[in-house]
Amino acid sequence: MKSMNRHRKQRDIPVLNSHAPRLSSVYSPDERVVLFQGDCRTLLRAIPSASVQLVVTSPPYNIGKEYEARIDLDEYVRAQGHVIGECVRVLKNSGSICWETGNYVDKGAIVPLDSILYPVFSGLGLRLRNRIIWHFEHGLHCSRRMSGRYETILWFTKSDDYVFHLDEIRVPQKYPGKKFFKGPRAGQYSCNPLGKNPGDVWTIPNVKSNHVEKTDHPCQFPVELIERLVVALTDPDDWVLDPFLGTGTTIIAALRSGRRGAGAEIMSKYVDLARDRVIASLNGTLPVRPMGRPVFDPKNAGKGLLSAPWLRQKETSGNLLQTCEDYSVAE
C-alpha cells in the first residue's frame, strides 16, 4: 500500500522547469532525453554507429521476474549476445560498457552471470578494465548458502584510448594526515589532497524498502552507483545509453551530470514510472541519495535496535532464553 501511494504521487508531476529538455520517445541525435517503449533492439537499430560514450545497464537475470520468461541458459547468453553486439556497434572508440549483474539461480545452485557473459564481451574485442564489486548490506536471507550481499559490474572499454576521469570519483583518504617517513619528500604529506582512488569494491546501499528512491520495480539500482560511472567515463553532453532501462535510473544519473540519456523499456508500467521519475528529477523534486554519502552507521540507530532482547531479558530476570528461535528470529 505504501509503495502504491508512492507510485501514485510520482505519476502526476508536471514539467515545471521551462528550460528542461523535452522527453522524446524516439531516438534522434538532436535530443537530450530519449525514453523508448519497446524492445531495446529496436531502439539500438535507430542509433548511429560510434555515437554513444557509455552503455550502462542491469539486464534481466533470467530468474523468472515478471518481465522475463525463464529460458535455457545458453539461449539467454545468445540473446544477451545480440544486444551486447549492437551496444558495441553504437559505442564510440573512446567509450565504455558497464554490465551490472548478479547470479542466475537453478534449484539453489548459482551461476555468476558475469562469468558466463565475459566471453561474449571479450569475443567482441572489448577490454575488461575492472570487475567492480557492488557490496550492499541488505537482501534475502538464505538458509542453505551464505546470503548474497554483492553484485558485480564488468567495466569494458572499446579501445585503449578511453575516457577515465579519476579525479571526479576520488573518495576521502583514510589517513589524510599521513606523511612520507623517508626519501626526498620525508615529512611532507603523502596523500593526494583530491582524495584517493575509490578502488573496485563499492559499498552503496541497494534500493530496498526504506531507500528514498524505492518504487514498485523489483530490481532498481541506485542513482549514485550509476552517477559514479557516468562522471568517470563520460564528458558533458555525451550520450549515455541503457538498453534495459527499468525505472529510468540511468537517464536520471546522466541528466544530473549534464549528459544526454537514452533507454528502452519493454513494460509500459515501468516506462510510465521512468517518465515520471525523469520529469521529477528535471524539476528537482525526485528524492535521490547523493553520491558519496557515507553508509548509515548502525551505532546511530535507536537503542532498542542495538541491544539483543534475549540479553536484555537476562539482565532483568537473570534467565537467558534457550535459543534465538524463542524470538522467531528469521536466521
Ligand X SMILES: C[S@@+](CC[C@H](N)C(=O)[O-])C[C@H]1O[C@@H](n2cnc3c(N)ncnc32)[C@H](O)[C@@H]1O
Q: Could you tell me the smallest distance in angstroms from the CB atom of residue 230 to ligand X?
A: 14
157 or 247, CB closer to ligand X?
Answer: 247
| CA pair distance 124, 302, nearest whole angstrom | 52
Q: Does 80 bind ligand X (CB under 6 A)?
A: no
36 or 239, CB closer to ligand X?
Answer: 36
- Which of 10, 53, 58, 281 contacts ligand X by CB under 6 A? 58
135 or 211, CB closer to ligand X?
Answer: 211
| CA pair distance 241, 48, nearest whole angstrom | 12
Closest by CA position to 229, among listed 156, 147, 297: 156
Q: Could you tell me the smallest distance in angstroms from the CB atom of residue 241 to ligand X?
A: 12
94 or 100, CB closer to ligand X?
Answer: 100
Report angle CA 287, 289, 290 to the nearest 5 degrees.
115
| CA pair distance 14, 136, nearest whole angstrom | 34
Query: Residue 270 corresponds to which cell in the numbers above?
Result: 515501468
- Which of 60, 95, 102, 261 contacts ligand X by CB under 6 A? 60
58 or 157, CB closer to ligand X?
Answer: 58
CA atoms within 13 A on the CB side of 87: 33
Total of residues contacting ligand X (CB under 6 A): 19
Q: Could you tell me the smallest distance in angstroms from the CB atom of residue 69 to ligand X?
A: 10
Q: Does 249 bind ligand X (CB under 6 A)?
A: yes
Q: Could you tell me the smallest distance in angstroms from the CB atom of residue 200 to ligand X?
A: 20
Per-residue binding string, ligand X, 225-244, x by CB under 6 A, is: -------------------x
61 or 239, CB closer to ligand X?
Answer: 61
Q: Does 221 bind ligand X (CB under 6 A)?
A: yes
Per-residue binding string, ligand X, 167-206, x by CB under 6 A, is: ----------------------------------------
- Which of 21, 67, 139, 191 contacts ligand X by CB under 6 A? 67
Closest chain position to ligand X (CB) = 246
- Which of 63, 219, 257, 287 contacts ligand X by CB under 6 A? 219
Q: Could you tell me the smallest distance in angstroms from the CB atom of residue 319 to ligand X?
A: 48
Question: What are the residues binding ligand X (CB under 6 A)?
Answer: 39-40, 58, 60, 67-68, 217, 219-221, 244, 246-247, 249, 264-267, 270
